[in-house]
Amino acid sequence: MSKVLILAEHNGDTINQSTAKVLTAAKQLGADTIDVVLFANNAELAAQLATLAGINEVKFVASADNHDQLAASIAPAIAEMGKDYSHVWGPSTTFGKDVMPRVAALLGVNQVSDIMEIIDANTFKRPIYAGNAIITVKTDTPQIVATVRTASFAADKSTDGNATVSEHALSTAAEHTSFVELSSGNSDRPDLQTASKVISGGRGVGSEENFEIVYNLADKIGAATGASRAAVDAGYVPNDMQVGQTGKIIAPDLYMCFGISGAIQHLTGIKDAGTIVAINKDGDAPIFEVADVGLVGDLFKIIPEMMEKL
Amino acid sequence: MKILVAIKRVVDYNVRVQVKPDGSGVATDGVKMSINPFDEIAIEEALRIKEQGKADEVVVVTIGNSDSQQQLRTAMAMGADRAVLVETDSAVQPLQAAQVLLKIIEEEQPGLVITGKQAIDDDNNQTPQMLATLWNRPQATFASQVEFTGDNKLNVTREVDAGLETIQVELPAVVSTDLRLNEPRFVKLPDIMKAKRKPLETKVLADVAPDLQGQMIEVLSHEAPQPRSKGVMVESVDELINILKDKGLVG
């Protein structure tokens, strides 16, 4: 008998796709009951969630501010609700990574981080050492607190669900922590973590201005844009574009990268991509070891030629 | 104010680890070990805060076997004032690590605890959050900027998926570092010599925390990741575009 409680993530207007991915994982578990807990001030979000098939109940916890989903405030409520569940799961996004270990600590268990495969209700596979080893772990604690690696599960796309929505009040808002502001590198391009195509640039792009040609190619084929740590550190692009062990882990159908050498830490972020295309001046760059298609050459010649021919 | 920095000895980030053929673990014999890169950033941040006159002591702590002394000495060569090793030969998981660190906090009474956001060996990203919870104090994870405000508070900018989020936390608090918080300093030879004379206290884990709570997650097996099938090198943009078109990836 497994009963799963999923922590929903949203940006104030829409439910994040990561929630639908955790739902997919919960269904693979063969859960008897799947409930979702949502902290927001927007009841419309609860209605959005209720349409996902397979969810029994949406526990809508009214919170003062859509951005004020601070871990210290919401974790006690999740842990309290979680006592009635065998599995308490969140997405392995920065939001889930921040909150879920607090929930685990309150429930007195170690967390299973980044589940990439479900063997059975107690046994899971997860990556360690930047994805260079995969471990199978088993835990039989009363609550299995875990984060689900979003790149390993497809989003549940059902829309014919009819979950009950119940309302709850947040009684535990932490006074020692407060939200100040969110500055987002918002763009009109597709979301990096859910896009089917991603075009990335690295140090080889050379400057913030030069990134324009990478953006142009991305727009041409409708891709999201990503970057290596080197490009972020050099100030060419904002941090939310970073792909890798410490950035975003993505699994698009097409990942095309320009001027990225392919450090271990970057490769771990793209290993699950359908087709990896690498364009680099250095024929010995490690990126070519994982690329499905490689082209040695100057990106400043190749991108304009691609723009012309696509 | 005292700052406590928790660090971990891990396989150096440049090493590509190999899974042992019998699946019992990864090969670590003779492999280069270092301070977890995120923890180096934590040490650096603590030192910078001290250099600004906002802290008077930086204490670095680790849980691990006796070899971890090397990493504590390195931390002291960077500038930490003293070190505490909680010695154990067994692997420790995040919930247990948080309980041990809490005991050290109770003893040391720091005003701020800084640690890396995750260790690059187990990639768990749990210990700082769990520590903050058990300590009943705020957490500011994935920090890329830490700024003191007047009344014993910190404004911390955090690297989140949507961009940069700033939160305010009251001290004492736990901060976990992201890569862009700072650039850790290099250790100079004379400082390595000086660090040898700095105090390094060794405690036995069973004495520090004799009653660790919570079940460990059992690791059944290790395996190498599925290798990707070998790719092709193309000579021209035309060839590349043809492949992408054949696969239906571009219109």
Check residue A66 and give its pLDDT: 66
The answer on pLDDT for B205 being more than 90 is yes
Q: Which of A239, A249, A264, A303 to mutate against chain B (most B CBs within 10 Å)?
A: A239
Assess if residue B143 is contained within a domain. Answer: yes
Tokens of B26: 């990864």
- pLDDT, tens only, A267-310: 989 988 999 999 999 999 999 999 999 999 999 999 999 999 98
Q: What is the pLDDT of residue B119?
A: 97
- Report the C-alpha dihedral over residues B55, B59, B63, B68, rounded to 10 degrees: 130
Per-residue pLDDT averaged across A63-68, rounded? 74
Q: What is the mean pLDDT of residues A234-255?
A: 92
Interchain proximity A309–B241, CB inside 8 Å: yes
Show the beta-strand stretches assigned E in chain B: 2-7, 9-11, 33-35, 57-64, 82-87, 112-116, 139-149, 153-160, 163-170, 173-177, 200-204, 218-223, 232-234
DSSP class of residue B225 equals P
Which residues share a beta bridge with B155? B147, B168
What's the burial of B191, exposed, middle or buried (CB within 10 Å: 0-12/13-18/19+)?
middle
Domain that holds residue B125: 2-223
Instruction: Quote the ipTM score.
Output: 0.95
Q: What is the CATH number of the domain that holds B210?
A: 3.40.50.620
Check CB contact under 8 Å for A101 and B120.
no
Residue B201 within any structural domain of the chain? yes
Q: What is the DSSP letter of A152?
A: G
Strands B163-170 and A144-148: unpaired
pLDDT class of A119 with cuts at 50, 70, 90:
very high
Q: Tell me, yes or no, whether B194 lies in a domain.
A: yes
Cβ–Cβ gap B16/A185 under 8 Å: no
Mean pLDDT, residues B49-54: 96
CB contact under 8 A, A98 and B216: no
- Quick check: B153 contacting A, CB < 8 Å? no
Residue type, A198: V
Backbone angles phi, psi at A11, to 5 degrees: -115, 15
Residue B125 distance to chain A (closest CA, Å):
7
A232 touching chain B per CB within 8 A: yes
Q: Is residue B241 part of a domain?
A: no
Q: Is B247 a member of any domain?
A: no
For position A186, what pLDDT does the model report?
A: 66
Compute the nearest-CA separation of B89 from chain A (Å): 20
Tell me whether residue B47 is in a domain.
yes
Interface of B with A in 48-77 (CB under 8 A): none
Asked if residue B239 belongs to a domain, the reply is no
Is the pLDDT reported for residue A169 higher than 80? yes
Q: Is the whole-model pTM more than 0.90?
A: yes
Residue B228 in domain: no
Q: What is the pLDDT of residue A161?
A: 94
Number of other residues whose CB lies within 10 A of the CB of residue B19: 21
A112 vs B contacts (CB less than 8 Å) = 217
> What is the percentage of chain A residues whose pLDDT exceeds 70?
99
- Helices A94-107 and B127-135, interaxial angle, to 10°? 50
Region B195-205: what's the mean pLDDT?
A: 97
Contact criterion met (CB < 8 Å) for B217 and A197: no
* Domains identified in chain B, total number: 1
Residues of chain A found within 8 Å of residue B241, distances taken between Cβ atoms = 306, 309-310
Q: Do A271 and B134 touch (CB under 8 A)?
A: no
| Euclidean distance between CA atoms A47 and A131, whole angstroms | 37
| Confidence class for position B226, pLDDT limits 50, 70, 90 | confident
CA A195 to chain centre: 11
User: Contacts of residue A276 in chain B, CB cutoff 8 Å?
Assistant: 228, 231
Mean of per-residue pLDDT scores for chain A: 94
Q: How many Å lie between the alpha carbon of A296 and the closest alpha carbon of chain B?
A: 7
Q: Provide the number of CB pairs (under 8 Å) joining chain A to chain B.
A: 250
Contact A93, B103 (CB under 8 A): no
| Separation of alpha carbons B216 and A207, rounded Å | 47
